Amino acid sequence: MSEIAIKVDHLSKMYKLYDKPTDRFKEAMGIRLKGKKQYYQEHYALRDVSIDVKRGETVGIIGTNGSGKSTILKIITGTLNPTAGNVTVNGRISALLELGAGFNMEYTGIENVYLNGTMMGFSRAEIDSRLDDILSFADIGDFVNQPVKTYSSGMFVRLAFAVAINIDPEILIVDEALSVGDVFFQVKCYHKFEEFKKMGKTILFVSHDLGSISKYCDRVVLLNKGQKIAEGRPKKIVDMYKQILVNQEAEHDIKQEGDTAQVMAASASGDTWKSQLDLNPNLLEYGERFAEIVDFALIDDQGNISNNIVKGTDFSIRMKVRFNRDLQDPIFAFTIKDLQGTEVTGTNTMYENVSSGPVKAGEERIVTFTQNMNLQGRNYLLSLGCVGFSDNKFVVYHRLYDVCDIDVISDKNTVGFYDMDSEVTII
């Protein structure tokens, strides 16, 4: 038996993009106007991609939107045909791709279980023997007897995943589907992943959750604009992906620059730091505008501006403040909240016993808070502020609430908001 479970060999997928429907018709009919070679533009969702997945491996595929991640999974599972190249699969595949793929919306949940099982090659008796496990894992109660068109997205993915993992696949393929399940269901699914790994199953996993990619994958493949950029150990590839997110991509090797190098490069080129972050379009800002936060950045341990910070590494929060009037000792602050709005942590220059001194109208100050990231792996929201005292009254000069998210990437989470980084001894 081959040790290769999935072999992707020089795979390409090209789509024809037409400016208008009549161009598609002319192309189909073979109509050629003078000087017109073709009526479409070629768009390659994948271009000459090769990947080998060994038996028993958990391999992650990451990349920006439009990089070809879902396309390659669809070709591997046979729901999409390639333009060029070949795919060889050694083993029974169970795939969880788009929400509802393979489901008949008019059928009940039970009927869809049998429909999917039959499509995967099982007899009715074999599905009967697995039905209790499927329904127990899905845990959607009496809704299993209702048409799936009445299901919420969470119920849908519960049933789809329950079917996918309980038909004893040799290869499990998952494409972002877990992102719609609740946290308790996700925990159950990841436990199943671990069981599969221990059983020597092969898992191919596409996700934007870099924490899960780092924790569960033996190897990671990085795609960008339809091409394979690199593959290797999770940490190395996640670091490369983060640089692609901030437009620091290189053809082969990505050089790691010293701290603040990217920040200074952005300033030299005239770009703002914040333009390289994923920003909240609905942020709340207010204040007397005695000062204004004109720019800000999150800087990871490699000196890159990024929303993604690896747990256990040093990172910086930096803001540039312009003053519109003379002020005495303004206070700079940041706060980190969870997605429910609970303030998790934060500080300011007054708490840290750092004085900025007097400032003049027209001046700018750059303040940097550097610390170690020991929050648990999840998403948080960053708020920034500049405040102070005027005529012995507390005044908010400028506040920006929830300016951007901070995605903490972790391969080990403990209880609560932060990790005490315990050392454990057992005698």
To the question of pTM greater than 0.75 for the whole model, the response is no
Q: Specify the pLDDT at position 259.
A: 44
Q: Based on the fold, state whether residues 241 and 267 are members of the same structural domain.
A: no
Q: Based on the fold, state whether residues 197 and 266 are members of the same structural domain.
A: no
Which CATH number is 398's domain given? Answer: 2.70.50.60
Q: Based on the fold, state whether residues 106 and 235 are members of the same structural domain.
A: yes
Does some domain include residue 225?
A: yes
Please tell me which residue, 137 or 251, carries the higher pLDDT value: 137
- Say yes or no to pLDDT of 379 above 60: yes
Q: Based on the fold, state whether residues 161 and 236 are members of the same structural domain.
A: yes
Q: Based on the fold, state whether residues 270 and 325 are members of the same structural domain.
A: yes
CA dist., res. 8 & res. 204, Å (int): 12
Q: Based on the fold, state whether residues 272 and 240 are members of the same structural domain.
A: no
CA dist., res. 40 & res. 23, Å (int): 7
Q: Based on the fold, state whether residues 78 and 123 are members of the same structural domain.
A: yes
Which CATH number is 170's domain given? Answer: 3.40.50.300
Q: Based on the fold, state whether residues 229 and 369 are members of the same structural domain.
A: no
For the segment 164-172, the average pLDDT, to the nearest whole number, is: 82
> How many domains does one find in the chain?
2
| Number of H-type helices and E-type strands within the chain | 9, 20
Q: Based on the fold, state whether residues 190 and 334 are members of the same structural domain.
A: no
Does some domain include residue 421?
A: no
* Residue in 136, 174, 175, 178 with CA at minimum distance from that of residue 156: 178
pLDDT by residue (tens digit) across 100-153?
566 888 999 999 899 888 877 788 898 899 899 899 888 888 899 999 889 887
Q: Based on the fold, state whether residues 389 and 293 are members of the same structural domain.
A: yes
| Domain hosting residue 351, numbered range | 261-409
pLDDT by residue (tens digit) across 217-233?
899 999 999 999 999 99
Please tell me which residue, 260 or 384, carries the higher pLDDT value: 384
Tokens 């299901």 sit at which residue? Answer: 151
Does some domain include residue 417?
A: no
Does some domain include residue 256?
A: no
Does some domain include residue 255?
A: no
DSSP string, 237-299: HHHHHHHHHTT---SSPPPPPPTTHHHHHHHHHT--SGGGS-B-TT-EEES--SEEEEEEEEE
Q: Based on the fold, state whether residues 301 and 379 are members of the same structural domain.
A: yes
Last residue of a domain, one of 191, 212, 245: 245
Q: Based on the fold, state whether residues 275 and 372 are members of the same structural domain.
A: yes
Does some domain include residue 352?
A: yes
Instruction: Kindly indicate the confidence band of residue 358, based on its pLDDT and cuts at 50, 70 and 90.
Output: very high
Does some domain include residue 84?
A: yes
pLDDT by residue (tens digit) across 317-333?
999 999 999 999 999 99
CA dist., res. 309 & res. 316, Å (int): 10
